[in-house]
Structure 1
């Protein structure tokens, strides 16, 4: 049986000191590249790590979607009530849903800060 502690190449020769030196040089080179890659990886993972701003952005997205949807739903409910009270079946619902859409867009723009809120113009 072959001795497992002795290493030999495929052609049956025993390793020489130059082979060991080459192997050591390659190992050192590989170690240096691994260290460099892990340092770069730690920099990129720190910069892409989840921060508090991600949760703030998610909360802002839910708030903006709720502002819009609530306007449309409120318009639909008011339109349905107008249809039931006055018997003008589809028209009350259609008009109020359109008005609800417009109100939802206005609320969305105000909540996003793209549109200033209504101000009182004090002229004396």
Structure 2
């Protein structure tokens, strides 16, 4: 792809410049209309409130589950270190942590009634 000395870029004609300017102004107007309608609809944000609420609930539920498993693992590990029952304490308490985490998630989601019988965990 070499260009010789005789190759010169073509100059756009004045009629194509006018056409280009008209297209550019129409595009600018269309973008302004679209921008204004998007800002009015969603406040200019990319995510709606329902998305943010759903994300917050997902983070809360997953942290409750992971917290139960991690707590069970730590208690089981400590149990093994103190009593020398490796690896049985860790296995048993990891399973108990899994069950507790699952139960906490189900309570928070409203699928299981809480200890008070009101449908909530607290």
TM-score by length of structure 1 reads 0.58
Following TM superposition, the consecutive aligned residue runs of length 4 or more in structure 1 with deviations greater than 3 angstroms are: none
Match of 2:58 in 1: 61
Residue 51 of structure 1: how far off its partner (Å): 1.7
Superimposed CA distance per residue, residues 63-90 of structure 1 (whole angstroms, 9 cap, x where no aligned partner): 0000100000000000000001110010
1 or 2 for the larger relative contact order (CA 8 Å, sep ≥6)? 1
Q: Secondary structure at the match of 2:69?
A: helix
Q: Which has the larger radius of gyration?
A: 1
Supply the distance in 1 between the matched residues of 2:53 and 2:114 (Cα, whole angstroms): 22
Superposed CA RMSD: 3.4
Aligned length: 102
Q: Any stretches of 5+ residues in structure 2 without a counterpart?
A: 1-36
Match of 1:97 in 2: 94
TM-score by length of structure 2 reads 0.58
Supply the distance in 2 between the matched residues of 1:92 and 1:51 (Cα, whole angstroms): 46
Q: Any stretches of 5+ residues in structure 1 without a counterpart?
A: 1-42
